[in-house]
Each structure stands twice: as C-alpha cells, then as structure tokens.
Structure 1
C-alpha cells in the first residue's frame, strides 16, 4: 500500500463503522478520487464534483455525520462517481443508472455486522428504490438520527408545531407550512423564507 493509499484508508477508517472499512476503501481503490472531509453543511450531507480538465473527481462528506450516515452518504457519492465515469454526464444525476449503481455498491454493506438492526431494516427497505436524498425516507432518517451524539435540547423540526419559533445555526426562525421533505421557515430578523429539511435538528424557543 502506497503512502497516499494509507492516508485514504486512515481517513475512511476514522468515520465509517469498523467492519466496513475494508469494503469502503476498496470502492476508492477500484476507481480513485479526491476524498475530502467537509465541515458540517445543512444544505447537503456530501457531494460529487468532476471539473473539466482535472484527472480525478472530488467527493466530500460532512465530518459531523454518525458512522452509519457517513457510510451511506459515502457510497451514495461513489455511485455518482461510477455513473459519471461510465456515462460522462449524459444521464440524469439520480436516474436509473445512478440508482442501479448505488444498489449494487451498497449490497455488500447491508449486513448486521455493519449496521444496527433498526437501521438495517429501514435501509433494506429504502434500497429497494433509493431516492436522491436518504433523509427523504422518514423511517431511515429517524433510525439514523438515533445514533447521532445526544443533545437534550434538540428535537427534529418535524416535531415542532407550525408557528413556533426555533434556533438553527444561531439564528431564530418561525416554522410555516410543511412540504414533502422540507419546511418553509421564516428567519425572524430578516423576514426571509428558507426551506429547511423536516428532519433537521433544531432548538425550540
């Protein structure tokens, strides 16, 4: 193993479940990419980018995810990488080509040795027809959230009643109508509206 491969292996091993490290590293080694651990972002858990003229694609995953969420996000983005390599951007980002690739890549990870029983049950159901965002599946999102570090002051936005105010990223918002996966929220200070994922963890006022 080269020095750079050891770096990537160590980087992966810090964030994914212990029994998944070798499988996760194998995905990288089969088709390498720049792997970046990103700071927490509310807008996304991870992303895939391929810039013109660059030899390697870039995959980022948020550093604040629990090991099971991190692994799922990592494989989700690797599936984008593999789909891009094969189709060169000629297919829909979350179309059938990506979906089939994601299903194939996730299958070896879907074991009780890697995921807890409650997460595995929700994950197996979700992977029958995976969507663009794993958190759009409420049962899977709840199961994954159960393994986040505990903060007794936080609840999910879904649990808050409409019209109630809450704090998110040191800003105060008011909850308005709920859409399919997101909630329309007004920032109290500016009066501007934002869409916040219904499973976002917030602090009620």
Structure 2
C-alpha cells in the first residue's frame, strides 16, 4: 500500500468492526473516493457528493456512530457512489438501482463475524427492501441503539432522550416536534430550527 491507501485503511480500522475492515477497504480500492470522517452533524449521519468538476466523489460518515452503524452508513453511501458511476444523475437517489446496489454490496458483510446477533437479525430484515434512511427502520435502530450504550456511555440517541434539551456540536437544542425519521429542534442561542436525525447521538442537557 502507498501512504494514502494506508491512511484510508487505518481510518476504517478505527471506525468499523474488526472483521469488516478488509472488505470495507476493498470497496474503496475498487472505486476510490475521498473518504471523510466528519464531526457529528445534526441533520445527517453520512452523505455522498460528486460535482462534475471534481476528480473524485466525496463520502462522509459521522465519527460518533458506533462501529455497526458506521459500517451500514458507509456501505449505504458507497452504493450511491456505485450508482452514480453508472447512471450519473439520471435515476432517483434511492430508487431501484440504489436498492440493488446496496443489497449486493452489503450482503458479504451480513455475517455473525461482523454483526452481533440482534443487529444482524434486524439488518437482514431491513435489507430485504432497504429504505432511504437506514436507521428509520425501528427494529434496526433499536438494535444499534443498544450498541451505542457501550460505544458512547455519556450520550443517548435523540429518539430516546428523556428530557427536551440536549447538546450537539457544542450547541444547546430543544426538541419541538417529531417527523418521520427526524425531529424538529430549535438551537436556543440563534433561534434557528433544524431537522435532527432521530438516531443522532446527543448529550442530555440539564440547566
């Protein structure tokens, strides 16, 4: 490996389950992209971006996800990359092309070596017909939430926050109303509203 490849490999070693590292790296190796581990974001867990003027696409995944949620999000975005490589912007972002790509790419990861039994069972069910927001599947979200309790002992998912105020990205928010996969929140200092993913890891805030 050259220095850049080693950097990608070490980044995956840090964030995905041990037995998934080589396979996750091979996805990058087959079709390279800029891989960015992002700070926790209120509005998304990861994303895929490609501008015609850019040499490489960019895939980002939030750093505060547990290894299993990180891996699922990573593969989700890699599927977008593969679809874009073939179809550009001529198909729906989460249409049949993406679903088939996501299912194909995720299948080798769906083993008991990589995922705990409860997560694997929920993941197998979800992957039969994956939706745009992986963690909108309640059984999968709950199974992954249990793993968050080990990975982030001082944090909880927004979905399970008992109070209505929390800290994220060093800002204090207050929950306003539930949406399908997100929760409308207000950032108290600025008064700006945000749609925060229900599975975002937050720190409970008590005045």
TM-score, L = length of structure 2: 0.86
**Aligned partners of 1:155 and 1:203 also within 8 Å:** yes
Distance 1:69 1:194, change over 3 A: same
Contact 1:160 1:204 in 2 (8 A): no
Aligned residues: 202
Q: What is the Cα deviation at residue 18 of structure 1?
A: 0.8
5+ unaligned residues in a row in structure 1: which ranges? Answer: none
Contact 2:38 2:63 in 1 (8 A): yes
Q: 1:81 matched to which residue of 2?
A: 81
Give yes or no for the alignment of 1:158 onto 2:149: no
TM-score (norm: length of structure 1): 0.87
Residue pair 2:133, 2:181 contacting (<8 A) in 1 also:
no
3-state SS, counterpart of residue 194 of structure 1: strand
- For 1:5, the equivalent position in structure 2 comes to 5
State the shift of 1:192 in Å.
Answer: 4.6
Which residue is equivalent to 1:167? 166
Q: CA deviation at 1:89?
A: 1.3
Structure 1 residue 150 displacement after superposition: 3.9
CA distance in 2, matches of 1:38, 1:173: 20
Asked whether the 8 Å contact 2:165–2:172 carries over to 1, the reply is: yes
Q: 1 CA distance for matches of 2:193 and 2:18?
A: 41
Question: Runs of 5+ in structure 2 lacking a partner?
Answer: none
Find the residue that maps to 1:14 and give its secondary structure. Answer: helix
Compute the RMSD of aligned alpha carbons.
2.2
The alpha-carbon deviation at position 8 of structure 1 amounts to 1.9
CA distance in 2, matches of 1:44, 1:165: 20
Secondary structure of the equivalent of 2:42?
coil
CA distance in 2, matches of 1:93, 1:155: 30
Corresponding residue of 2:204: 203
In 2: Cα distance, 1:186 partner to 1:22 partner: 41
Q: Please tell me whether the aligned partners of residues 157 and 199 of structure 2 are also in contact (alpha carbons under 8 angstroms).
A: yes
**1:15 alignment partner in structure 2:** 15
Displacement of 1:202 in angstroms is: 4.7
